[in-house]
Chains A and B, each alone.
Chain A
Amino acid sequence: MEEKQSISEDSDPHSPLIELAWFSLVSSCIKILLIPSYRSTDFEVHRNWLAITHSLSLPNWYFDTTSPWTLDYPPFFAYFEFFLSLFASLIDPIIVELQEGLNYEANSVVFFQRMTVIVSDFFLHYAIYQITRKLDPEKRRFIWVLVIWSPALLIVDHMHFQYNGLLLGLLIMSISALEEGKDLLGGFIFAILLCFKHLFAVAAPVYFVYLLRHYCCGGLVRGFWRILTMGTVVMAVFAVAFGPFLYHGQIQQVIHRMFPFGRGLCHAYWAPNFWVFYILFDKILAFLLRKVGFKTQRAGASFTGGLVGDSSPFSVLPQITPLVTFTMVLLTMLPCLFKAWKDPQPRKIIRWIAYAYTCGFVFGWHVHEKASLHFVIPLAIVSMNDGNEASHYFMLSTVSCYSLFPLLFEAREYPVRVLLLLLHSILMWYGFSSRFSGPVVLSASKPSRKRNAESTSERTWATVSEDSRFGIGWIGMSYLLGLVVVEIWGQFLHPLFLKDKLPFLPLLLISVYCAMGVFCSWIWQLTWIIMSP
């Protein structure tokens, strides 16, 4: 009821912080309603980490194998779990019991863990406020709608169960600092983020090049001094994170846990990336060769079997090793590294980082479909710049959210996930089209934008030309219609016609179809980066 009073009091001048509170509280209400919904094994993973960090001493954290869900995140995340476990033990001591707590599913643990995610999301909300606080109100609110009410975050964090909100909050904080020219702070926060979840390291080359050119410049002495400062700060963060393990001489074990290369090229469910095409091409080629009469190595159903395989047996095409994927990611990232080297502009850093994550997603090793959040959420912040951006973001966000559908496979969540995506798409369509099409809206919102551009010298947004309107064209429209067809096939027609045959065909279809969308988005981002002055 406090929000009741606060909002009613200041309902006229609309203080941005109160608006932010309104947005995040509305989303929290929805999240609370989602507490009893489906949760994946990640829930038990995080509960087990609570137990490990609480009941074992620090040197044993990375050695414990009581549960198959061993600790495989960097130390800061372990510290974070330790912090949470202090409260968990107050609420229900069984949560943090290593043995008794295994697969513990009482109301208390569900409630507690879900609430920690909901509360940690406020960090993301604040970060979004930080980065958008200088934009004009209309734009700002819409970005909030895109991020705070993001269905993808709801699905991954609040149903599937993860702490992406907190991590993305850190990422956006760091980007916000970079955009404002506080390079040291940006690097510092990014170092912290890396010690929370090392998967974010994909953007490290961009950070490295950008900071080297933007921060460590201006003469030999000054540049060297700044390199030293930055290096010290980053090393200090890493020392705090890894120091205790270094002290106990366990650094090898920690690294081993963090990088399990034993896993296959693709996750259980194929993330919609380049390797889906590769595998599919291999399958088709093998099939054709067999028809012609060549003898090929039978690959078996290891890709479609839904298991986390440890090898990637291709029958025709060359095998893919982690090193290959690593090189490919770096190679595809080169254009943006080159741009960052040549002209490190703060206002472009967000695209470069998003592009780096896109490269990591499209060409990476053992990519999770959830990783698409890493670039979809940051791109939301620049989606309101012009009509083309908006069109691109509309497609990307829809596709990436749709690609998360297989995470929630239970019938109970079906209406929720469909309606969440529909609501999100309608909201985006409505918001983008009211801003980027129709002369009335354009002329009405022009003065405010100009005023804003003057007030923020740092951020000179490209002014919207009249012809860059929001619209996805007939190609985009037919692609989205195809999405509907894929969904209808997977949900209704497949069980009707094929019964139990080819059980993974619907998933395969979703992967391939979404991979096309993500690939297009990657190309779009690449051209944007190359073409931008």
Chain B
Amino acid sequence: MAFELLFTASYSHPILSTSTAVIVRQQSSYRPLGLTTSMVLPFKQVLQATTALFNSQVLNLQLINLSFNRFFPWPHRKVSSILKFIRYVRLIDRLCQLVTFGGGKKRDRWSRKEYGDFEAQRHWMEITINLSATEWYRNSTSNDLSYWGLDYPPLTAYQSYIHGQLLKLFLPESVSLFTSRGHESYLGKLLMRWTVLSSDSLVFFPAVLYFIVVYIRLSNRRINIAWLIAMVLLNPCLIIIDHGHFQYNCISLGLTVGAIAAILSNRELVACALFCFALNHKQMSAYFAPAFFCHLLGRCLRCRNPFLEVSKLGLVVLGTFLILWWPYLHSTEAFLGVLSRLAPFERGIYEDYVANFWCTTSVLFKWRKLFTVQSLKLLSLSATLLTSLPSMVQQLRAPSNLGFLYALVNSSFSFYLFSFQVHEKSILLPLLPSSLLALEEPLIFGWLNHFAMLSMFPLLCRDKLSLAYISLLALFTLLYFAPGGRQDPRKTRHPSTLRLFIMAVLVLSSLVLHVIYLTMHPPKRYPFLFEAIIMLLCFSQFALLAVYTNTKQWTLSKKSTWMDKEKKQL
């Protein structure tokens, strides 16, 4: 490969883009300063200074105006219009002062929530290394489930156990039973951060590289691999949630990517096992389950002996689950106990201001008041299944590699938009397969990424991550539009002027929303006005994207695509 453009070296070489990704991850894990009141203050100061200036000018101008009126009658109109303009500026300033700057008291509501995900993960480490496996999910005197009880599947518990042992090695007091609650020492935080960083580079990175290798083998045209790697690895949403907000999404998402790559390379059994691992690390991975299920079933149905194939896959799934759930299989009571922990239905249909269907329409229909939790469960389940049905049917009828990737996007989208108890962070799940599709659908990926970031903006502001948010988003945008980065041989057709205009307006409005959210207080009557507007905007975009990817998946089957052409040759 002749690299004519050296400067793209930052990401035109897989190793480079990978190490850049590590650096960016580590840096964002500093939990940077947010743009707090003191930082917004400059705007206010500048504004006040300009106002003072204007005020003095107003006086001067009025004097001048008087003298002008006396001696030269004609420019009077001009001067008065200037005066009007200045008054207008002052009016704006008044308005700004009315809504006042900074976000000091507005977010007090959130401080009620103690600690958050960081403490949860640390607490799980504490529980898992100090208690026996059967105790982990059971409420007891030594395990108070109401204090950040373990509510993820067993693989998370095992991972916490391993990381807990590591922490115990270096800093025993950070994971000691009871006494370590709320432990936040410098070294403790650093070690926790490094566990995420290391699991990211041990699980997510290799999985992505595996996917890339398979992808290169499948596509016979010249593609810019490095750009794709940069897009997948430097995904700002994943970085900021895992290394800023603190979670271990990289593990479950990495396992999913591994499963996807295994499917693309025709290793169905490996794929099954990997996906079961992902499912057992975070139950949220079930967003992808319909796509996996239907694609594999569709493949099996096309084989000579469908029953044998299906039973092989079934055995692998069963075996993996058996191994992972082994400590809880000795009694039905223990098994059901774990299961009930994994499905927290008591939390309600939606949380905060997530940009999904239920939350957005709750502006009009108060779902929580109209229906009971039971019927809401049923309603959301049926809506989810109904919306994911088209892509499932398509995969059953004509399973294809590219179609599978689209189906992943579609099923995760329908779960995000319609399922019960969705969190803002769940947007990571539709984002993952669309980042794998970045070379196919660069526009969709960029668009989704932008609005996914926006949808998490209020959450990240609460975490005081707005500075990291800004720089990560800018970095991603720069890499996305890197000169010579995406050398697509198929010249993408230029979007029409109207579409360009609409897109520009949307991007601009989202940027304005960022600024407004950071600098202004909402009116007292609607304290969550800005969150609601962000949610509405994001929901509309997500819904549009979901419709687009669904239709795209269906039109795919009509014409055979490059990936499947290649498969036929194989």
Using a CB-CB cutoff of 8 Å, which residues 28-53 of chain A contact chain B? 28-30, 32-37
Q: Mark B267-299, 1 if CB is under 8 A from A, else 0.
A: 000000000000000000000000000000000
* Pairwise interchain contact B46-A32, C-beta atoms closer than 8 A: no
| Selected interface stretch from A255-263, A267-275, A420-428 | A420-428
- Size class of the B contact interface (CB-based, 8 Å): 35 or more
Q: Name the 4 nearest CB pairs between A and B, nearest first.
A: A141-B7, A32-B471, A29-B475, A33-B27
Per the bound structure, the CA–CA distance linking A7 and B45 in Å amounts to 33
**CB closest chain-B residue, reference A11:** B483
Closest approach, in angstroms, between the C-beta of B5 and any C-beta of chain A? 7
B507 CB contacts on chain A under 8 angstroms: 1, 4
Closest approach, in angstroms, between the C-beta of A421 and any C-beta of chain B? 11
Using a CB-CB cutoff of 8 Å, which residues 182-200 of chain B contact chain A? 186-187, 190, 194, 197
Given A138-B6, A145-B6, A149-B10, verify A8-B481 contact (CB < 8 Å): yes
| Selected interface stretch from A105-113, A170-178, A325-333, A520-528 | A105-113
Per the bound structure, the CA–CA distance linking A141 and B8 in Å amounts to 9
* Pairwise interchain contact A412-B31, C-beta atoms closer than 8 A: no
Number of interface residues of A (CB under 8 A): 54
B80 located at the interface, meaning its Cβ lies under 8 Å from any Cβ of chain A in the complex: no
- Tell me the B residues contacting A by CB distance below 8 Å: 2-7, 9-10, 13, 15-16, 19-20, 22-24, 26-28, 30-34, 36, 38-39, 41-42, 45-46, 49, 186-187, 190, 194, 197, 467-468, 470-472, 474-475, 477-484, 504, 507-508, 511
A533 CB contacts on chain B under 8 angstroms: none
Closest approach, in angstroms, between the C-beta of A85 and any C-beta of chain B? 14
Partner of B30, one of A5, A11, A412: A412
Per the bound structure, the CA–CA distance linking A90 and B511 in Å amounts to 25
A26 CB contacts on chain B under 8 angstroms: 10, 475, 478-479
B475 CB contacts on chain A under 8 angstroms: 26, 29-30
B481 CB contacts on chain A under 8 angstroms: 3-4, 7-8, 11
A317 located at the interface, meaning its Cβ lies under 8 Å from any Cβ of chain B in the complex: no
Given A3-B481, A142-B6, verify A33-B38 contact (CB < 8 Å): no
B187 CB contacts on chain A under 8 angstroms: 411
A116 CB contacts on chain B under 8 angstroms: none
Per the bound structure, the CA–CA distance linking A14 and B7 in Å amounts to 12
B467 CB contacts on chain A under 8 angstroms: 32, 35-36, 111
Given A33-B28, A415-B22, verify A4-B477 contact (CB < 8 Å): yes
Per the bound structure, the CA–CA distance linking A25 and B473 in Å amounts to 12
* Pairwise interchain contact B32-A35, C-beta atoms closer than 8 A: yes
Given A32-B467, A106-B38, A412-B190, verify A419-B22 contact (CB < 8 Å): yes
A235 located at the interface, meaning its Cβ lies under 8 Å from any Cβ of chain B in the complex: no
B508 CB contacts on chain A under 8 angstroms: 1
* Pairwise interchain contact B6-A36, C-beta atoms closer than 8 A: no
Partner of B33, one of A30, A35, A423, A441: A35
Closest approach, in angstroms, between the C-beta of A55 and any C-beta of chain B? 18
Q: Which of B19, B27, B39, B479 has the most CB of A within 10 A?
A: B27
* Pairwise interchain contact B31-A90, C-beta atoms closer than 8 A: no
* Pairwise interchain contact A430-B483, C-beta atoms closer than 8 A: no
Q: Mark A145-158, 1 if CB is under 8 A from B, else 0.
A: 10001000000000
A440 CB contacts on chain B under 8 angstroms: 2
A54 located at the interface, meaning its Cβ lies under 8 Å from any Cβ of chain B in the complex: no
* Pairwise interchain contact B13-A430, C-beta atoms closer than 8 A: yes
Per the bound structure, the CA–CA distance linking A444 and B6 in Å amounts to 14
A7 CB contacts on chain B under 8 angstroms: 478, 481-483
A36 CB contacts on chain B under 8 angstroms: 30-33, 467
Closest approach, in angstroms, between the C-beta of B495 and any C-beta of chain A? 11
B474 CB contacts on chain A under 8 angstroms: 25, 29
* Pairwise interchain contact A90-B45, C-beta atoms closer than 8 A: yes
Given A30-B475, A111-B33, verify A416-B6 contact (CB < 8 Å): no
| Selected interface stretch from A15-23, A298-306, A480-488, A507-515 | A15-23
B504 CB contacts on chain A under 8 angstroms: 5
Closest approach, in angstroms, between the C-beta of B381 and any C-beta of chain A? 39
Closest approach, in angstroms, between the C-beta of A37 and any C-beta of chain B? 6
* Pairwise interchain contact B27-A416, C-beta atoms closer than 8 A: yes
A91 located at the interface, meaning its Cβ lies under 8 Å from any Cβ of chain B in the complex: yes
Given A25-B478, A412-B190, verify A142-B7 contact (CB < 8 Å): yes
Per the bound structure, the CA–CA distance linking A441 and B6 in Å amounts to 12
* Pairwise interchain contact A427-B9, C-beta atoms closer than 8 A: yes
Q: Mark A462-491, 1 if CB is under 8 A from B, else 0.
A: 000000000000000000000000000000
Interchain residue pairs with CB less than 8 A apart (17): A1-B511, A22-B482, A25-B474, A26-B478, A29-B472, A29-B474, A35-B467, A36-B33, A37-B27, A90-B49, A107-B38, A107-B39, A108-B39, A138-B4, A141-B5, A427-B9, A440-B2
A344 located at the interface, meaning its Cβ lies under 8 Å from any Cβ of chain B in the complex: no
20 other contacts beyond A25-B474, A36-B32, A91-B41, with CB at 8 A cut-off? Answer: A4-B477, A4-B480, A11-B481, A11-B484, A18-B483, A22-B478, A22-B483, A26-B10, A28-B471, A29-B472, A33-B28, A33-B472, A35-B33, A90-B42, A91-B42, A107-B36, A138-B5, A411-B190, A412-B186, A416-B23
A19 CB contacts on chain B under 8 angstroms: 7, 483
Per the bound structure, the CA–CA distance linking A91 and B39 in Å amounts to 8
Per the bound structure, the CA–CA distance linking A7 and B477 in Å amounts to 10
Closest approach, in angstroms, between the C-beta of B417 and any C-beta of chain A? 26
A142 CB contacts on chain B under 8 angstroms: 6-7
* Pairwise interchain contact B6-A423, C-beta atoms closer than 8 A: no
* Pairwise interchain contact B471-A107, C-beta atoms closer than 8 A: no
* Pairwise interchain contact B3-A434, C-beta atoms closer than 8 A: yes
* Pairwise interchain contact B478-A426, C-beta atoms closer than 8 A: no
* Pairwise interchain contact A107-B33, C-beta atoms closer than 8 A: yes
B194 CB contacts on chain A under 8 angstroms: 415
A427 CB contacts on chain B under 8 angstroms: 9-10, 16
Per the bound structure, the CA–CA distance linking A5 and B19 in Å amounts to 28
A422 CB contacts on chain B under 8 angstroms: 19
Per the bound structure, the CA–CA distance linking A19 and B484 in Å amounts to 10
* Pairwise interchain contact A426-B27, C-beta atoms closer than 8 A: no
Per the bound structure, the CA–CA distance linking A412 and B27 in Å amounts to 9
A32 CB contacts on chain B under 8 angstroms: 467, 470-471
Per the bound structure, the CA–CA distance linking A412 and B193 in Å amounts to 10
**CB closest chain-B residue, reference A6:** B481
Partner of B197, one of A11, A25, A415: A415
A35 CB contacts on chain B under 8 angstroms: 32-33, 467
